[in-house]
Amino acid sequence: MRKPPWWASKGAALAARGLPAGPIRERYEQEFLAELYAMTRWQAARYVFGVVASAPRLRRVLACDIDRSEQITARPATCRLNLHHDWHMFHTEDGGRYKACLRCHKEHPEWRYYLWRYPGDNIRRSFGA
pLDDT of residue 45: 92
Taking each helix axis from N to C end, the angle separating 41-65 and 6-17, rounded to the nearest 10 degrees, works out to: 10
Position 49 pLDDT exceeds 60 = yes
Q: Are 84 and 78 in contact (CB under 8 A)?
A: yes
pLDDT of 97-122, one tens digit each?
Answer: 888 888 888 888 775 545 555 555 55
**pLDDT confidence tier of residue 46, bands split at 50, 70 and 90:** very high
- pTM equals 0.48
More confident residue, 70 or 51: 51
pLDDT of residue 43: 92
